[in-house]
Amino acid sequence: EPEVTQTPSHQVTQMGQEVILRCVPISNHLYFYWYRQILGQKVEFLVSFYNNEISEKSEIFDDQFSVERPDGSNFTLKIRSTKLEDSAMYFCASSERGGDFSHEQYFGPGTRLTVT
């Protein structure tokens, strides 16, 4: 069964460093998402992406975050200057359709980001 994959599974970085989290969405999906989950807290939406553009973003997704689809398969989340509070599990998700079908999202296993 097709699945969303993410690398690395765990990333440790120092405060102020840049990190890039990578995702390979399901191959026929066209809509891509990033979420984060701070330990013990809710899954929070960061950004959605379609047709090489950001469709929607939350207040969390400020200027230190960016997303890119550098080729036909990868979808990346970059954090330019990490802060301690960026430590969280970051999930990538994808869906075949958007709009009224955006709820049919499939999540990857996550990248655990630890900022020291």
- State the residues that interact with another protein by CB under 8 A: 4, 33, 41-45, 48, 56, 58, 89, 91, 93, 98-100, 102-110, 112
> Could you give the CA distance from residue 94 to residue 76 in angstroms, rounded to a whole number?
13
What separation, in Å, do the N-terminal and C-terminal C-alpha atoms of the chain show?
37
Q: What is the DSSP letter of 4?
A: -
Minimum Å gap between C-beta 81 and another protein is: 26
Q: How far is the CB of 107 from another protein (least distance, A)?
A: 4
Q: Which is nearer to another protein, 2 or 16 (CB)?
A: 2
- Shortest separation between residue 36's beta carbon and another protein, angstroms: 11
Least distance from C-beta 8 to another protein, angstroms? 14
Strands 43-50 and 53-57: antiparallel
- Toward another protein, which CB reaches closer, 4 or 113? 4
Ramachandran bin of 70, using left for φ above 0, alpha for ψ from -120 to 50, beta for the remaining angles: alpha
Nearer to another protein, 31 or 115 (CB): 31
Residue 46 to residue 66: CA distance in whole angstroms: 10
